[in-house]
Amino acid sequence: MKTIILYIALIGILFIGLLAILRLGEKIKAPQNVSGKWRIDAGFVNSIHNSCTPVYLPKKDPLVQIEQSGIHLTVYFNDPAKTELHGKLANDSMFFEQELNVKNDFQNLCGKKTKADLSAVIEKLPDNSYELIGTWSNPDCKESHSIEFNAVEIPKGKR
Amino acid sequence: MSILLLLIIQIAVIIITSRVIGFLFRKIHQPQVVGEMVAGIILGPSVLGWLFPGVSAFIFPAASLKFLNTLSQLGLLLFMFIVGLELDPKLLKGRGHAAVLISHVSIIFPFILGTILSLYLYPLLSNNSVTFTSFALFMGASMSITAFPVLARILSEKNLIKTRVGAVTIACAAVDDVTAWSILAIVIAIVRAGSGKMPAWLTIAGAVAFILMMIFVIRPIVAKLETYFKIRGNKITNDILGMVILLMLLSAWTTEWLGIHALFGAFFMGAMMPRNKGFLKPIIEKLNDITLVLLLPIFFALTGLNTSIGLISGGEMWFYLLLILTAAVAGKLGGAAISARISNLNWRESAGLGILMNTRGLMELIILSIGLQFGVISPALFAMMVMMALVTTFMTTPFFEWVYPNKLIRKEIAEADIEKQRYKILIPVSFPSSGPGLLKIASLISSSSSLKVYALHLIRASDISISNLADSNGLSQNIEALKPLIDLAGEKSIPVHPLSFATRSAANDIIQIADIKDVNLILMGWHNPILTESILSGTVNEVMQSAKTDVCVYLERQFNPYKNILVPFNEGVHDRGALELAHRIAVNTNGQVTLLHIIKPKNLPPVETDNQTLSDKIPQARGIEEFPGDNVKLEVVESDTPLDTAIEISKKNYDLVVVGLSETWGLEPSLFSKRHERLGRECPASLLILRKYVPES
């Protein structure tokens, strides 16, 4: 009898607690889902070849894959070197800052390891899909200039 | 390279790595499974992919993983089926309430902590494609799991099953398994409903219908497999094995179709199989080899391939991991330990139980894989949870050894062995005056040093009046009924455990207590019936009919040391039991047993020789162990009326008659006639009537 009363008391109280937590949690907002594949604009593909931190994206189907763990993001470009950047999401903006190993010396004006910055804003398009609009820059490299970055979300069904 | 060639290379690499790492972990006293989990991580991007990206890309190209995934899913189905097969309801015997309490608290405690932690982690490690409810429920479920198979292996390796902590832990883990998978089925239904595939209520209703169908329709059908197994000479033929696997697949398909994951169906079908060990053991052995050696390491490798420890980078991420670990350990270990303490285990046992229940192992990885597959947990969170599973599994053995040193385990096992050898007698006592007599005969059945007595006084619910309830000394009054017995036990140094409570059905409670305490014998007094002339009626009859242990009814005429004991012997299991019981008493009183064998006239056995055994002399006694010493004497008498003869002979100088329950002696309780009481009424000696328990199998 003692065990049954204890059982009902403990489990009952904890169960009510669980319901309260779930209720409370409904008010919490999670970051926007940006995970998945995005098709990169051709202009960026051409310009990034000539940056301090060149990324040799394919002319056909240049893609960036975003792996999301909440506000923590990793982007993977589909270049042969499989360039990846780690960054964060804050509201509707994402920021990546990473030192990249640069292999082709003749292009590199700022040393073997150069910092690359990518920042973008998520914008909703009229067809309810999303677009990333931002810039790619190499802050350590005085000769370089910012490159415009645009990518359009590939709907999940078409990936 | 062709897919088959690649697959062969992949499997070979996986098996070699898992066996080698598993072996190394066994060397440091860790379960093989921890090594296999680590082997999976070594093969993934965290080690192989980081150190040798080229080799990793060659052996495990992304496109090829779907084939490995198929094999690993099949492995998981078989594994969960085996877990279901290994579920043993007998584990709960005598500790059902405590096991359910400890297990459920140790589930809901980490579950709650997991959901509280979700309030913090949800905005940091999830996204708006996952609802908070799904995220929190999944976090809760994955925090609360216990790895029953790993636990069972640790307990059996350390021989802990014999100890109290081991026995309670394995019972709790069994309850944990069923509960956790039921919770997971509900969580999956809610998660899938969140993604708009099927309403949660429909999935849950489907799951309930599935469970009812399995219990009331499929289970009786599946039971016929056992009959077929017996017809085939107790052998698991390939046909039977094929049938069993087919049933498992069908069940898995149904639950997957219902939206509660195929693994649940595989597990449930395992639990529905007949509980005959002779049937289950060969199936488990046949399936275990291929599952544990080939298929599960593939699952570990795939988990490792999905685990990128690199994602846990920076102080912030390591802080999240620390929080997860703290919540998991505090919830599971703490919850299990506190509830065990409440259930009357001491602090050391409670801590040991908590540490064991904190083992998550493979079960955790299975849940996490489901979470990742449904997109409920993100890759970084997945990596953190895998780390948590590894750490909690890894810490089990050293922490347990710290709390429970081997020396102490050995001591407890020795004590448990002594306890097991004790002869346990349950004595239901109605009146204070009947207790001492019953204790005296109990002390003759087994010597004081190896005897343990449970003295039970039941109060009929209808006898409890308001004035009784108001009496603050009510409990001590109950014990008062046992006082003469307890006093005598004190004099004789017999360990007695007094029990007393209100009852609605005395017979049921006596039977249950006997089962829980695992007694060897229920010893009941013989009272003059008030409403009926039948002596073996009412509570005595019900206990004799249903108790799963031997039952003895004692009528004391005059207590002597019982040196001359008569055993009327015809045939049958009860008569044999009576002979054994009489022999036990004779050994303790240094007395003589006369085995009275009454045969039809002109049916005398062949002439005896000195070196004949008892079963040579009386074919009906075949199977009775030969008694050492010279205290069993055979007397063969010719008679057409064995009962009259037995009563007549009992009037000679015998002070105790021990008789088995049978029609021959007019004691079969189904016969409500005057004959029924003749032995009791006319025999001048004290009388012990034995009903021997014969297990159904």
Q: Which residues of chain A make contact with B121, given a CB cutoff of 8 A?
A: 70
Residues A18 and A41 in one domain: no
DSSP state of A30: P
Q: Once rounded to an integer, what is the mean pLDDT over residues B488-503?
A: 84
* pLDDT given at position B610: 57
The model's confidence at residue B686, banded by pLDDT at 50, 70 and 90, is confident
Mean residue pLDDT across chain B: 83
Judge whether residue B17 has pLDDT over 90. Answer: yes
Residue B259 has pLDDT above 50, yes or no: yes
pLDDT exceeds cutoff 90 at B246 = yes
pLDDT tops 70 at residue B311: yes
The count of other CB atoms within 10 Å of the CB of residue B162 is 17
Q: What is the pLDDT of residue B258?
A: 85
pLDDT for position A103: 55
Q: What is the pLDDT of residue B472?
A: 42
Residue B231 to residue A37: CA distance in whole angstroms: 60
Find chain A residues with C-beta within 8 A of B342's C-beta.
6
CATH number given to B422-555: 3.40.50.620
Tell me if residue B344 falls in helix, strand or coil: coil
The pLDDT assigned to B469 comes to: 42
Q: Is A28 on the interface with B (CB under 8 A)?
A: yes
Whether residue A141 sits in one domain with residue A77: yes
Task: State yes or no: pLDDT of A38 exceeds 50.
Answer: yes
Model confidence at B457: pLDDT above 90: no
Whether A22 and A68 share a structural domain: no
Whether A23 has its CB under 8 Å from any CB of chain B: the answer is: no
- Verify whether the Cβ–Cβ distance B123 to A35 is below 8 Å: no
pLDDT at A138: 80
This prediction's pTM: 0.72
When scoring A6, A26, A65, A72 by the number of chain B Cβ atoms within 10 A, the one with the most, hence best to mutate, is A72
> Which token pair is B206?
């489907």
A-B C-beta contacts closer than 8 Å:
106
Residue A41 sits in the same domain as residue A26: no
3-class secondary structure, A86: strand
CA distances from B254 to B175, B206, B210, B218, B220 (A): 24, 10, 8, 13, 19
Asked if residue B475 has pLDDT above 60, the reply is no
Please check whether residues A77 and A122 belong to one and the same domain. yes
Contact flag A70-B127 (C-beta cutoff 8 Å): yes
Q: What is the pLDDT, as a whole number, of residue B354?
A: 93
Which stretch of DSSP H or E encloses residue B411?
A: helix B406-421
State residue B2's pLDDT score.
84
Residue B70 pLDDT: 92
Mean pLDDT of B637-644: 81
H-run or E-run covering B10: helix B3-27
User: And the tokens for A15?
Assistant: 């169960």
Same domain for A40 and A26, yes or no, is no
Residues A22 and A57 in one domain: no
Whether residues A71 and A112 share a domain: the answer is: yes
B112 burial type by CB count under 10 A (0-12 exposed, 13-18 middle, 19+ buried): buried
In angstroms, the CA B474 to CA B469 distance is 7
CATH of the domain at A84: 2.40.128.30
List, for residues B283-306, the tens digit of each pLDDT value: 999 998 889 889 999 999 998 998
**What are B290's two structure tokens?**
């291929």
For B661-679, the pLDDT digits (tens) are: 876 776 665 444 444 567 7
The pLDDT-based confidence of B254 (bands split at 50, 70, 90) is very high
Measured between alpha carbons, how far is B80 from B290 in angstroms, rounded to an integer? 14
- Given a cut of 80, is residue B346 above it in pLDDT? yes
- A84 lies in which domain range? 36-158
> How many CB atoms sit inside 10 A of residue B619's CB?
9
With a threshold of 0.90, tell me whether the complex ipTM lies above it.
Answer: no
Per-residue pLDDT of B125-150, as tens digits, reads 999 889 999 999 999 999 988 887 77
For B605-666, the DSSP string reads PPPP-TT--HHHH-GGGTTPPPPSSS-EEEEEEE-S-HHHHHHHHHTTT-SEEEEE--GGGT
Lowest mean pLDDT across B452-456, B586-590, B680-684: B680-684
pLDDT greater at residue A133 or residue B203:
A133
Numbered ranges of CATH 1.20.1530.20 in chain B: 79-413
Is A124 found in the same domain as A145?
yes
**A84 plus A16 within the same structural domain:** no
What CATH number belongs to B79-413?
A: 1.20.1530.20
Among the partner residues A17, A30, A67, nearest to B126 by beta-carbon distance: A30
pLDDT (average), residues A43-59: 80
pLDDT per residue as tens digits for the range B502-530: 787 888 889 988 888 888 999 988 765 54
Copy the structure tokens of residue B690: 């034995």
Structure tokens at B504: 């609605």
- Under an 8 A CB cutoff, do B130 and A25 touch? no
- Among A28, A68, A86, the residue with its CB nearest the CB of B119 is A28
For the record, the structure tokens of A73 come out as 């993001």
- Distance between CA B692 and CA B522 in Å, rounded? 11
Rounded to whole angstroms, how far apart are CA atoms B485 and B443?
12
pLDDT tens readout for residues B45-100: 889 988 998 899 899 998 888 899 999 999 989 988 998 888 777 766 666 677 88
pLDDT in tens, A99-152: 776 655 445 556 666 778 889 999 988 888 889 999 988 877 776 778 888 899
Locate the DSSP E strands across B470-588. Answer: 496-503, 521-525, 550-555, 564-569
Residue type, A27: K
The helix/strand count (H/E) of chain B reads as: 31, 10
Range(s) within chain B of domains with CATH label 3.40.50.620: 422-555, 557-686
Within this chain, do residues A19 and A86 fall inside the same structural domain, yes or no? no
For residues A22 and A1, state if they share a domain: yes
Query: What's the angle, vertex CA B220, arms to CA B217 and CA B222, rounded to 5?
Result: 100
**pLDDT tens column, B396-443:** 989 998 998 888 888 887 877 777 778 899 999 888 888 888 888 888
> How many structural domains does chain A have?
2
Residue B603: pLDDT band with limits 50, 70, 90: low
Q: Is A29 on the interface with B (CB under 8 A)?
A: yes
**Do A55 and B148 touch, CB atoms closer than 8 A?**
no
Most B CBs within 10 A among A3, A14, A69, A75, hence the mutation to make, goes to: A69
A148 contact B CB<8A: no
> Does the pLDDT at position B684 exceed 90?
no
- In the predicted structure, residue B199 carries a pLDDT above the cut 80: no
B461 versus B515: which is more confidently predicted?
A: B515
Does pLDDT of B217 surpass 70?
A: yes
Q: Does domain B557-686 have CATH number 3.40.50.620?
A: yes
CB contact under 8 A, A70 and B378: yes
Q: Give yes or no for a contact between A84 and A76, defined as CB atoms under 8 angstroms apart.
A: yes
